[in-house]
Chains A and B, each alone.
Chain A
Amino acid sequence: MTGDRIAPRFEYEDQPSARLEPEILPEPDEPRAGIGSVSLILGGAVVLLLGLALLDVANFVGDQFQRAEWLGWLTLGVAAVGFGLIGMAFWRELRGLFSLRRVDHLRRRLADPATMRQAAHAWLAMLPEGQSVLAAIDTANDPDAILALLRAGPGETLRLQAQALGRVAAGQVLAAASVMPSAGLDGVLVAWRGTRLVQQVAALHGLRPGLLGTLALLRRVATSAATVAATDLAVDATMRALLTGPLAQLAGDMAAAGVAARRMVVLARVTDAACSPLGK
């Protein structure tokens, strides 16, 4: 020690050491949606309906076997086909629901330069005209150039196609609203056409959402609306209308046909952003 101070020092350690890594910062708290009361009620109702029906059918099949073996097998076959079809529908719904998660997965991989090229390949494989830019993607060395190619190529094509779908829906809403006998039916029309439009735009992106998938997609679109279409206050109203169902529409007031048509155009744009791995 020099005086009351400790002498400065610099010393290498004996053992080799890996490059330092930054401490992991906590991820920002994101409000998690969780399972809502309505979902719980619906889920319970489905379990009761299917479960009790299954038990009832099982008892019935047992009874039929007691009556006659051939009758039992026949009843079992009918029950298996019926429940098989229901199961297939459930499987499709779940597959549609989980296909949305693939978008998030692709977004994460596109954000990482190490996995960006593979993610671009995976995404382009889902798109009908995706192969045309693959050669350019393979020659680009710069991650930003890859993103720019994706945005300018398939991203732009999808945006224009979504825009066209939005314009078609807007025209239909405008034409139909002008001949609707009541404002309540206007609401039903907008809700139905809006849902259909969301499904159409999702299909452009290679997603085939069923009923549950569409509901999840509508939620997602509502979230994207805040960032993508913040300039258009109408989007939120449309989404709220779609999410709360036709009854709310019937009770609520609808804007003029022109506003409703414009909502379709904005809805197409927002849905495109929600379904695209490139985001906004």
Chain B
Amino acid sequence: MALSAVLGLLPGRRVVRIGVTGLARAGKTSFLTSLAANLLAVGAGLPALPALGARLGRRGLHVAIAPAGAQMLPRFDYLSHLAALAADPPSWPARTGAVSLLSLDLEIGHEGLAARLPPQRIRLEFLDYPGEWLLDLPLLGQSFADWSAATLRRLQAWPQAREFLAFTGGLPTGAKADEALASTGTALYRAALRGLRDEAGLAMLQPGRFLMLAPGPEPPWGSFFPMTGGGALAGLLRARYDEYVRAVERDLAAPSFASVDRLVVLADVLSALHAGPAAFDDASVALSAVAQALRWRRLPAFLPSWIARVLPVGGISRVAFAATKADHVAARQRGNLAALIGAMIRQPADAAEAAFALAAVRCTEDVVWTLEGHPVSAVRGRTLGAERAAKSYPGEVPDELPDADFWAHPFLALPDFEPMQLKLGGRGGVPQINLDGLLAFLLEDLL
């Protein structure tokens, strides 16, 4: 409190950049839209985020969308996404395909003796960072040969990769560096990745920029695929892979990501439970890879790794891992969901980390449903386009990594519930679950 009072006396505004990333279909756009709407509602004096309000106490909070200025990053289109949620009938915001930035200016007052001091002025910059790109971080420490061997091994189990595997299997040993071969292989590999993401629900798919293209024209080195063995073609693919990895490094050092000092990682764990053990394991591997990648620090490569562990340079100070769509299970199970995503990370923490189960846009209400003579905690909501409400009990959420016994029973797919009605067209806030708790954790040192 005393520190924030002193910081308020400093000229200018403290800028805090928070990366928001997530595995495919985790709901990043809804998360950012709800976050902005609720923070603005709190700034207008509405109790939209109770945990944040409790943290603020009697201190005033003023929130405004920051002017875009002359930044290179595109602005997060908060208003059109909010309009989609508030419309009648509502629709979910369209999927975003590139990096964007949501900036909010906060002024936090003081209480007690410091009440007359100038408010603490903070600019929160939420960087919408594609989760697919974050999955490229593990490539930094992997050679082309290792990556190819591991990827080809994983693909064997999936029918979506059959055509690509047939192509690579049929390539002659020592194939020439032919552009037609490289292009065909890349196209087949990309099609396999898309199939694995859309049909099999996999997340750990590399390179991430193959699924979420970077803006601008595609460079020639963006055309490669995993291949074992030697020869000129393998050499060409290796050179392109190495250049790709260098581009990933350059992106990380770019101001947009390098200045991120806290991060939110979203994952649709409930859908992974429905997709089955293979998809769930894949999501676990992806989350672990993300958690591991966050240990990356901006230190010169010649310094030993123990220095990176000791020096708090360029690191991310707070990470919130959140299982989204928590409103699709009853309140009784949300604790299990938070524990489950915590178990999926499986990494020793070197930053402040916390696991949450949240619903950025609440769609359901909790009900007790009598099934087979037993009362069960379930949820009730309307699905998109339907006039009737539906009750859903998708199954029990485990509080640790599921074992074989769990997979012996089905876990239902998540229904496409529609968002609850928004007050004042969304300006009165967006109903949410635990978004306030996550924000209170992320901003704990600022509030």
Q: Which residues of A pack against B, CB within 8 Å?
A: 1-3, 5-17, 19-23, 25-28, 111-114, 142-144, 226-227, 230-231, 233, 236, 280
Q: Are A230 and B109 in contact (CB under 8 A)?
A: yes
- With contacts A5-B409, A233-B116 taken as known, whether A20 is within 8 angstroms of B420 at the C-beta atoms is yes
Q: Are B372 and A13 in contact (CB under 8 A)?
A: no
19 CB < 8 A contacts A-B: A2-B409, A5-B409, A6-B376, A7-B372, A9-B412, A11-B391, A13-B391, A17-B389, A19-B88, A19-B382, A19-B421, A20-B364, A20-B421, A23-B365, A26-B47, A113-B424, A226-B109, A227-B60, A280-B62
Question: Does any Cβ of A come within 8 Å of B374's Cβ?
Answer: yes
B44 to chain A: closest residue by CB: A111
Q: What is the 8 Å Cβ interface bit string for chain B, positions 337-381, against chain A (1 contact, 0 not)?
A: 000000000000000000000000011110001011010100011
Interface residue range, chain B: 35 or more
In the complex, what's the smallest C-beta–C-beta distance from A110 to chain B, in angstroms? 10
List the B side residues contacting A6 at CB < 8 Å. 371-372, 374, 376, 393
List the A side residues contacting B47 at CB < 8 Å. 25-28
List the A side residues contacting B395 at CB < 8 Å. 5, 8
A8 and B378 alpha carbons, distance in the complex (Å) = 10
Q: Are A21 and B388 in contact (CB under 8 A)?
A: no
Given contacts A5-B395, A20-B380, 19 further A-B contacts (CB under 8 A): A2-B409, A7-B409, A7-B410, A10-B393, A11-B391, A12-B386, A12-B389, A13-B388, A14-B388, A17-B387, A19-B418, A19-B420, A20-B420, A22-B362, A25-B50, A111-B427, A226-B109, A227-B60, A230-B116
In the complex, what's the smallest C-beta–C-beta distance from A16 to chain B, in angstroms? 4
Question: Does any Cβ of A come within 8 Å of B261's Cβ?
Answer: no
Question: B363's contact among A16, A20, A230, by CB below 8 Å, is which?
Answer: A20
Question: Does any Cβ of A come within 8 Å of B390's Cβ?
Answer: yes
A122 and B316 alpha carbons, distance in the complex (Å) = 50
In the complex, what's the smallest C-beta–C-beta distance from B430 to chain A, in angstroms? 9
A56 and B415 alpha carbons, distance in the complex (Å) = 79
- With contacts A19-B421, A227-B109, A230-B109 taken as known, whether A13 is within 8 angstroms of B381 at the C-beta atoms is no
Q: Are B60 and A226 in contact (CB under 8 A)?
A: yes
List the B side residues contacting A280 at CB < 8 Å. 62
List the A side residues contacting B117 at CB < 8 Å. 230
Most B Cβ at <10 Å: residue of A20, A23, A144, A236: A20
A28 and B116 alpha carbons, distance in the complex (Å) = 22
Prevailing SS type, chain B contact patch: loop
Q: Are A10 and B45 in contact (CB under 8 A)?
A: no
List the B side residues contacting A142 at CB < 8 Å. 79
Most B Cβ at <10 Å: residue of A2, A25, A236: A25
Q: Are B409 and A10 in contact (CB under 8 A)?
A: no
List the B side residues contacting A9 at CB < 8 Å. 369, 371, 391-393, 412
A39 and B386 alpha carbons, distance in the complex (Å) = 58
B413 to chain A: closest residue by CB: A10
Question: Does any Cβ of A come within 8 Å of B144's Cβ?
Answer: no
Question: B421's contact among A2, A3, A22, A27, by CB below 8 Å, is which?
Answer: A22
Q: Are B45 and A28 in contact (CB under 8 A)?
A: yes
Q: Are A21 and B79 in contact (CB under 8 A)?
A: no
In the complex, what's the smallest C-beta–C-beta distance from A6 to chain B, in angstroms? 5
- With contacts A22-B420, A112-B427 taken as known, whether A15 is within 8 angstroms of B388 at the C-beta atoms is yes
Question: Does any Cβ of A come within 8 Å of B411's Cβ?
Answer: yes
A143 and B425 alpha carbons, distance in the complex (Å) = 10
Q: Are B421 and A21 in contact (CB under 8 A)?
A: yes
List the B side residues contacting A227 at CB < 8 Å. 60, 62, 109
List the B side residues contacting A27 at CB < 8 Å. 47
List the B side residues contacting A144 at CB < 8 Å. 79
Question: Does any Cβ of A come within 8 Å of B431's Cβ?
Answer: yes
Q: Are B427 and A113 in contact (CB under 8 A)?
A: yes
In the complex, what's the smallest C-beta–C-beta distance from A19 to chain B, in angstroms? 5
A107 to chain B: closest residue by CB: B44
Q: Are B415 and A10 in contact (CB under 8 A)?
A: yes
List the B side residues contacting A12 at CB < 8 Å. 386, 388-390
List the B side residues contacting A17 at CB < 8 Å. 382, 387-389
List the A side residues contacting B118 at CB < 8 Å. 230-231
List the A side residues contacting B371 at CB < 8 Å. 6-7, 9
Q: Are A1 and B372 in contact (CB under 8 A)?
A: yes
Most A Cβ at <10 Å: residue of B374, B380, B382: B382
List the B side residues contacting A112 at CB < 8 Å. 424-425, 427
In the complex, what's the smallest C-beta–C-beta distance from B7 to chain A, in angstroms? 14
In the complex, what's the smallest C-beta–C-beta distance from A121 to chain B, in angstroms? 19
